[in-house]
Structure 1
Amino acid sequence: MWGQNIAAENSHRNARMSPYPGSKVVRCHVPNEKVSWLVEWREYNPVEYTASLVLARPQWADPQLGERNFCPRFNERDGNVERRSQEGFYEVRNGRPKNPVGRTGMSGRGILGRWGPNHALEPIVTRWKRDSMGNTVTHPVSRKNILQFVAIKRKDCGKWAIPGGMMDPGESTSITLRREFGAEATNSLRKSKAERQMLEKQLHRLFSQDQFVIYNGYVDDPRNTDNAWMETEAVNYHDETGEITCHLPLKAGDDAKEAKWVDIFDTLKLYASHWQFIQFVAEKRGAHWKEEHYHGHQR
């Protein structure tokens, strides 16, 4: 579990950032030593904030707690809504779920739709970098092959990230992964019917390739609050020969403003915990990762 494996001073860095995304709201300051709920802090007074967009009750958002006919079953499968955490059982106090890792300086839901865990999926699509002759490119120092992944630049913060999005109630993991990748990295939602049919064939082949789950659990995300938090499953789909992805039409769509292949190095600056996921992929695939002690390589 994330909360058990990472010390308080290293956890919740993003989840304590101010101002809160998409707002001017400043969180109550939470020092490193008081992140954990196990540390007594009687004076703790988090800022209450739920965005007006969430309060407007879009289809993906819960009602406010206490509203008539809304009795969420926390730590359970609640109809089509998954309210179980990948981190295990979480505490519910005064009717509100408690962030399993610790304090964030903010109560309410912020811009997250669900009370408690908000489940996302992130497809990490990779291939080996190749030269004009089709040969894999190795790093001159490590002598390991250089791996590439499909990255998108987020519209909300301008940071590079793994494409992905929230699971719809009752939707399967495989459908969400393919849908979110297509929407953000290929602009599938704005293609013609014929273009979508051709793209679907490519995506079907791609998402039938070698795959494994990189991470499954809590995410240190700037949208997190004391009562609502992000959890994700990051899945790597690897095109070993590059035959499928060389024809993949990358084009930003939905929540992205740019999409491209990015070489994987330890110097990447990525959104939230995505850097760690990419590191896991590089290590799993035996690809180059560290850039230290070498400064002449041109990317």
Structure 2
Amino acid sequence: MSPRSPLPLRVQNSRWRRDAAGKVVKDENGTPILEMVCIKRKDNGEWAIPGGMVDPKEHVSATLAREFSEEALNTLDMPEAKRAKTLDAVSSAFHKGEVIYRGYVDDPRNTDNAWMETTVMNFHDDKGDVFGAFELTAGDDAGAVTWVPITPGMPLYASHYDFVKETYKRRTGKNL
């Protein structure tokens, strides 16, 4: 929470909503429906983008895979062999991310002397064949996890909606 604290990261997974035949579903305006993984925080019940703090000497890509795996796949409760296999699959899926935001964030944990800064990465499954292999299961500090459509004004924790709006604009070319 301060300049010397570990950097928090957010990992935003997105995909196009598809019908049973695998065709991209569009809204009433003809815009493809963009979905993202959301977790429901146990501490306050608010929906958020998965993420957490970089551990000492941990590489950012490892943090992204670990935090997503813990919160959205519940790897902490898996047997060691399955956890390692899942982490490998997540790490492979997270090889082409895009930085959505890096810097100061408006966060309820901020104080006059300590504040949150973050990096938000988006990993988009354009063809719908990468993230579908993952069985979402809430774990660690997530009480629930699900794919949700990105919609105007969706209620999200702290400044997460700002990051979602930016992702939506980059993926669809439109503002929320």
Q: TM-score range by the shorter chain?
A: over 0.9
SS of alignment partner, residue 180 of structure 1: helix
Counterpart CA distance in 1 for 2:124 and 2:173 is 12
Q: Larger Cα Rg: Structure 1 or Structure 2?
A: 1
When the two structures are aligned, how many residues end up with a matched partner?
176
Counterpart CA distance in 2 for 1:281 and 1:133 is 26
**Residue 191 (structure 1) aligned with residue 97 (structure 2):** no
- Which ranges of structure 2 fall in alignment gaps of 5 or more residues? none
**Greater helix fraction, Structure 1 or Structure 2:** 2
Q: Deviations over 1:4-24 (max 9, x none)?
A: xxxxxxxxxxxxxxxxxxxxx
Q: Deviations over 1:119-153 (max 9, x none)?
A: 20001011111011111011112x11111111000
Does structure 1 retain, via aligned residues, the 8 Å contact 2:65–2:87? no
Counterpart CA distance in 1 for 2:50 and 2:108 is 17
Give the corresponding residue for 1:206. 93
The residue type equivalent to 1:274 in the other structure is H
1:35-184 alignment runs, 5 A limit: 112=1, 114=2, 119-141=7-29, 143-184=30-71
Does structure 2 retain, via aligned residues, the 8 Å contact 1:125–1:149? yes
TM-score, structure 2 as length reference: 0.93
Q: Which of 216, 227, 232 is the matching residue for 2:118?
A: 232
Q: CA deviation at 1:115?
A: 6.4
Q: CA deviation at 1:289?
A: 5.6
Aligned-residue RMSD, C-alpha: 1.7
Q: Deviations over 1:230-263 (max 9, x none)?
A: 1000000111111121121111111110011011
Counterpart CA distance in 1 for 2:28 and 2:117 is 37
SS of alignment partner, residue 83 of structure 2: helix
Give the corresponding residue for 1:218. 104
Counterpart CA distance in 1 for 2:153 and 2:169 is 15
| CA spacing shift, 1:265–1:289, aligned 2, 3 Å | farther
- Which ranges of structure 1 fall in alignment gaps of 5 or more residues? 1-111, 291-299
Does structure 1 retain, via aligned residues, the 8 Å contact 2:62–2:91? no
Counterpart CA distance in 2 for 1:261 and 1:148 is 6
SS of alignment partner, residue 156 of structure 1: coil
Q: Deviations over 1:249-298 (max 9, x none)?
A: 111111110011011111310000000100100100116664xxxxxxxx
TM-score, structure 1 as length reference: 0.56
Q: Percent identity?
A: 44
Does structure 1 retain, via aligned residues, the 8 Å contact 2:101–2:120? yes
Q: Deviations over 1:70-90 (max 9, x none)?
A: xxxxxxxxxxxxxxxxxxxxx
| CA spacing shift, 1:116–1:201, aligned 2, 3 Å | closer
